[in-house]
Structure 1
């Protein structure tokens, strides 16, 4: 899909959600707490959020004292992020060619977006490029082998999809994601399973509650999603 077509699709996706939730809801807050507590960024560390959307994570991270920047393909989302976090430097751009200098950031985050990029290897390589030598990348991605995703595939004969962005979406297993990140030149230091479901629009509330109750017994490779913490290779 051409960049222009993809940008139009994401603009429409964001247009439908503008003003939907001006504040971070408690579930998002718990998720963001968990993510930043995995990496313990230093006060006033420089953060770049790739595919920052309307700036929810930028707003949260700024509240934790980080100096925040963001990039998103959707100019509509970038405008919303700038309004939400006036102090942030937010630019329109592609993940495959980040509009920032090399060695610029202590932390690069990409949360639930790498699976949507047309060239995820090039995108992850760009994240490595803009990291400082001692920096870390925090990459959150869905698991192809999550039980609900397997059930979706068995019923529909296709890969799972969430959030209404099936026009550009590819899932992988934990090893599949690890291999991709290593191919991009990153070193995977650790990965953590995440089992709380709230983002999907294809799971009933009852099924979500049931999964959240039993998820502690699920092996990590069967988790809903993973957070990878990476360093430069």
Structure 2
């Protein structure tokens, strides 16, 4: 067995165990997923593919936009649980490095918090590029390697989740990876969910947090825990 296949099986098993033991506790609440659809300007009848869809939280949120939902995940446990809740969704077990779809199929493609966990990022991005149509937009949430928590706890203290292939890169590196793969960067935002939680604590009951609006951070984008990229295919 090749090292890559062995790594892939290990990652799959880790996610199967995680979804079996933790289920929705592993995921953010559904309100955290609306911002991705807002930034993509999702519209009715568009085809949306969520890569590493897990239990289908983003796809569930996408129904408010009346898109046609598709999802893939390497975890058969996740897909089985998602199908129980959403039998009408187009869900299947698949590897992002070999997507089971024709060229130019999708209008919107998302990959939230999972790209850095893939064994071969370049192959995964090539596949995502391939299945998107000419006007497609992409939303990726990826981890920053220059945070204190990553550099000290994950790297210096060796607390990275090796079985789940946990990884990270800085803003410049992610930008270069996406451009090399043929994408143009439309916008980059700091991960919105921590800012949403901070705003909620600040306002308490005095002001309702709008989870569909971008919240600005006072810190430089380079210091964000995760980066939220909105991309399109290079013209």
Report the TM-score, using the length of structure 2 for normalisation: 0.81
Q: CA deviation at 1:93?
A: 0.8
Deviations 1:29-60 (A, max 9, x none): 34212221112112221100000011111111
Structure 2 residue corresponding to 1:181, chosen from 178, 182, 186: 178
- The structure, 1 or 2, with the larger RCO (C-alpha pairs under 8 Å, 6+ apart) is 2
3-state SS of 1:49 partner: strand
| Contact 1:11 1:76 (8 Å CA) reproduced | yes
Report the TM-score, using the length of structure 1 for normalisation: 0.81
Show the counterpart of 1:205. Answer: none
Say if 2:80 is the partner of 1:71: no
Structure 1: stretches of 5+ with no match in the other structure: 199-207
- Partners in 2 of 1:79 and 1:61 — Cα distance? 19
Say if 2:17 is the partner of 1:12: yes
Query: Deviation above 6 Å: which 4+ runs of structure 1?
Result: none
- Partners in 2 of 1:147 and 1:31 — Cα distance? 24
Q: CA deviation at 1:84?
A: 2.0
Show the counterpart of 1:80. Answer: 81
3-state SS of 2:217 partner: helix
Cα RMSD between the aligned structures?
Answer: 2.6
| Contact 2:111 2:141 (8 Å CA) reproduced | yes
Structure 2: stretches of 5+ with no match in the other structure: 203-215
Show the counterpart of 1:36. Answer: 37
How many equivalent residue pairs?
213
3-state SS of 2:137 partner: strand
Q: CA deviation at 1:216?
A: 3.2
